[in-house]
Amino acid sequence: MIRVALLVLNNGLVSTVTGPLEILMGAGTAYNQLTGKPVKPIFKVKLVSIDGKSVRGLSGFEFNVQDAINNTHEFDLILITSGGDNIPTLLKEHKQAIPWLRKQYEQGATLASICSGSALLAATGLLCGKQATTHWGLVQTFRLHFPDVRLTPEHLIVEEDRLITSGGASACNDLSLYLIEKYYDKKTAIDCANAFLLDTGRQSQTQFSALLHQRAHNDPVIAETQEIMESDYASILNLDTLAAKICMSPRNFKRRFKNATGEQPLNYLQKVRIEAAKNLISDTRKNIEEVSLAVGYTDATHFRMLFKRYAGLSPTQYRAKFRT
């Protein structure tokens, strides 16, 4: 069996612990039980913490772990969970794990991280000069602390030299399935996904990753507006109405939005819609007309024109190249 240590960090999201725990433990067992096949466990998972004491998650839920890191032996895989969104605090509270992680890696273990756990992995120095990803909301802080890491936040999962990083919290499910396929086979990963009703084949951690650099400003009102655009892109029919919603005149809204993001609000909304369309085209069976309607365009011809402008490919070409 594959020996796995799930390193539980303070102030993390509960799902980044329970998700991998249940999915990895369910590999070779959950689907088999549901279909009446012999149970064949693949992973042996141990919950560990810095000192072996219970760990409190962001929601207040406490995890009872099985051991302290320095009491544990060699592992095949170490999975670093989320540790909250305050990277300096995360690094300060878990600095004792850094030499342990380096030692485990030197002994042959693969190190993987979820969400902000990538910061602790980067603190080992092992990611220096290597490609990695993290939660899109932590990109600026991560780059400030680890400028030598080649961060690619548009990717959901990145692996290089036995170092695996993944994006935001829900990426823990994708990472778990990725690890099942890596250590065993694709069929078992698919079986496990079916047993837990999980989506498969996701490659991007966010449909808005191409717009991350346009969130790097200090205007909270425009940031709020961007969030509205990114959540309600399909239903926004009039930007003047959106301006009124944030108590601005259309003219002032356009000026302030351009000053903050470098982009006119209409162009930004178009980009958001096209990013959403990319995911639908690559990850679903919707036809192009259905995708057009789903992202807010009733005219499929106009949608195709905009898609080609922003994606560099027609919707059909994009599907042929990136379909999962």
Domain harbouring 215, CATH code: 1.10.10.60
Same structural domain for residues 177 and 39? yes
Same structural domain for residues 9 and 91? yes
Same structural domain for residues 53 and 171? yes
pLDDT at 166: 96
pLDDT at 203: 72
Report if residue 202 sits inside a domain. Answer: no
Same structural domain for residues 109 and 152? yes
- The residues that bridge with 46 in the sheet, in sequence order, are 5
Same structural domain for residues 299 and 160? no
CB atoms within 10 A of CB 264: 14
Measured distance CA(314)–CA(310) in Å, rounded = 10
Q: How does pLDDT run along the chain (324 residues), one tens digit per residue? A: 999 999 999 999 999 999 999 999 999 999 999 999 999 999 999 999 999 999 999 888 999 999 999 998 889 999 999 998 999 999 999 999 999 999 999 999 999 999 999 999 999 999 999 999 998 888 878 988 999 999 888 789 999 999 999 998 789 999 999 999 999 999 999 999 999 999 777 776 655 556 666 776 788 899 889 989 988 999 998 999 999 988 999 999 999 999 988 789 999 999 999 989 998 998 899 999 999 999 999 999 999 999 998 888 899 998 988 776
3-state DSSP call for residue 255? Answer: helix
Q: Which of 138, 162, 196 is the last residue of a domain?
A: 196
Q: Which of 196, 218, 234 is the last residue of a domain?
A: 196
Measured distance CA(146)–CA(137) in Å, rounded = 15
* 27's tokens: 């590999």
Half-sphere exposure (Cβ direction) of 24: Cα atoms closer than 13 Å: 27
For residue 188, give the CATH number of its domain: 3.40.50.880
Report if residue 203 sits inside a domain. Answer: no
Half-sphere exposure (Cβ direction) of 150: Cα atoms closer than 13 Å: 7
* 209's tokens: 């990753």
User: CA angle at residue 270 from 154 to 137, to 5 degrees?
Assistant: 30
Structural domain containing residue 156: 2-196
DSSP state of 33: H
Measured distance CA(22)–CA(62) in Å, rounded = 17
Look at the chain and report how many structural domains it folds into. Answer: 2
Same structural domain for residues 314 and 186? no
Measured distance CA(256)–CA(259) in Å, rounded = 5
- The residues that bridge with 44 in the sheet, in sequence order, are 3
